[in-house]
Structures are given as structure tokens and as C-alpha cells.
Amino acid sequence: MTEASRHDAWEMGDSYDLYMGRWSRQVAPLFLEWLRPGRKLDWLEVGCGTGALSAAILADCDPRSLIGIDPSEGFLNKARANGEDPRAEFRVGDAQALSLSSGTMDIVVSGLMVNFVPDRQKALQEMARVARAGATLAFYVWDYPGGGMGFMRAFWTAAGALDADARELSEDRRFPFCTQDQLADLARQSGWADVEAGEVEVPTRFKNFEDFWRPFTLGAGPAPGYCVSLPAERRQRLKEKLEADLHYESDGSIAFRARAWTIRGGAA
């Protein structure tokens, strides 16, 4: 674990869903619309977490089978609890060393994971290895460096103003490579053919300040992990700063947008 990743906390499925799953569940169907996959395919989803993208695949893509892989047993339990589906199976695993035979999947995808893996190129090579010749490979990650994750940037801007150490922890700083061009290059360097990039975007509207703040206090994900690591008095100061700094709509809601870059290619 690197110094900047020490607050990446991927255990508590319910907390993750309140922080990020509520938005990843909205972006997943848009990614699938962009991808336009065929029907009755054997799918692998790498880094499936609590099953946001898995649920969309099962609902929208008529898969023959779906294997979801993630290192977090806690997240996988949440994905399994979404509803029994005989087509789906969730297994503990690591993107950098998939325990699947080569050339066995029709389509291999990943949502919001690639930036968190220490060896990203190895992860994309593994996605290609387990795919059949001509299979589709695709992933998406948030546009952190381009300001595409507004509510996270607001959190880290306030945190960084109060704590110089927090500045290095923000996803903007940690994941500068999350641009369309660099992600597409990474896919090419990993052996993906015919690489194309796109984008999908969803509104992220919080009912009020409490709706914005509470997920950060639940500890699942980098910013919530940092938030709960603060002593109570410093956490209170951060809360007050954010409450004062945010822009509110006339009904008291707080509106941001979340943009993800989408990358697709083919297995050679």
C-alpha cells in the first residue's frame, strides 16, 4: 500500500453504496449503452465491488454468464445480496493475476477500478489474456484530473485548506493519468486492438448538506477513509468549512456532475 492509498477502504458494502454506489449505479447503464454489447455473451467484470455494473449487465445485456471478481469479500457479499441470479457468480480475485483460463470470455469489462490497481498495465493485459480472440474489452474511470468529479474535488479542496497532508491524498493528485488520451494509450500499450475513447456523465445532486456530508463519515473509499481518520475536533472543522464553502441551489440542494472516461478495444 502506498502512502497516498492508505485511506482506500474497500470493506463495507453498505457504506460504499451510500458514498459512491449511488452514482456508480447511474453511470453503469450509460457505459453499457455506449458499449452496445451483443446478447448471450460470457462476461467477466473485474473489480465488481458491490455490483453496480454487474446489476446493469444482468438487467440490460441478457448475458449467458457473468463472473464478477473483486478482492473485497465484504463488497462481494453486497453484490451477491443484490438478488440471486443463476447466470451470475462472484469470486474473490485480483485484477493483476486473474484465476481464469486464457481465451475463455466473450467480453471483459471493469468499472471505476483501473486507477486503484498498483500495476494498471498488468490488469489490462490480464483482461486481454482471458478474452477470446475478437472479444470486447472495456473499462471506465472517473475524470478526476479534469474536474469531472465535482463533489470529491469540493471535499479535498476544503480538506487541503485545513491540512497540508490532505493535498497529496486527493484523487486529482493521485490519478493524473485519468485522461482520455493517457487511458487509451495505456490500453494500447497493454495489447488492446482498435482502441476508442468516449465519455459518460451523470448529475450528482445532494438533497441538502447532511446528504452530502454523511457518506464521508462512513469510511468506505479514499475521501471517507481520510475523513474518519481525523480526530473529532478536526473532522468538525472540516464539516463546518465545507458547509460554509459549498454552493446551494434555492431549494437547499447541492448540485455537481460526475464524468467518466470510457475506453474500449478488442482482444487480438
Closest distance to ligand SAM from the beta carbon of 111 (Å):
4
Closest distance to ligand SAM from the beta carbon of 81 (Å):
15
Closest distance to ligand SAM from the beta carbon of 90 (Å):
11
Looking only at residues 104 through 123 of this chain, which bind ligand SAM when binding is defined by CB under 6 A?
A: 111-113, 116-117
- Of 73 and 240, nearer to ligand SAM (C-beta) is 73
Q: Compute, in degrees rounded to 10, the torsion defined by CA atoms 1, 217, 167, 145.
A: 80
Would you count residue 72 as binding ligand SAM (CB under 6 A)?
yes
Closest distance to ligand SAM from the beta carbon of 168 (Å):
19
Closest distance to ligand SAM from the beta carbon of 268 (Å):
23
CA 55 to chain centre: 14
DSSP structure string for 180-242: HHHHHHHHHHTT-EEEEEEEEEEEEEESSHHHHHGGGGS--SHHHHHHHHS-HHHHHHHHHHH
x/- track of binding to ligand SAM for residues 28-67 (CB under 6 A) = ------------------xxxx--xx--------------
- Of 109 and 195, nearer to ligand SAM (C-beta) is 109
Closest CA to 80 of 50, 42, 56: 50
Closest CA to 37 of 127, 105, 124: 105
Would you count residue 224 as binding ligand SAM (CB under 6 A)?
no
Q: By the 8 A CB rule, do 156 and 169 touch?
A: yes
Would you count residue 71 as binding ligand SAM (CB under 6 A)?
yes
Q: Between vectors from CA 88 to CA 47 and to CA 15, what angle results, nearest 5°?
A: 45
Closest CA to 108 of 225, 199, 192, 21: 192
Closest distance to ligand SAM from the beta carbon of 70 (Å):
5
Residues forming contacts to ligand SAM in the complex (CB under 6 A) are 10, 20-21, 24, 46-49, 52-53, 70-72, 75, 94-96, 111-113, 116-117
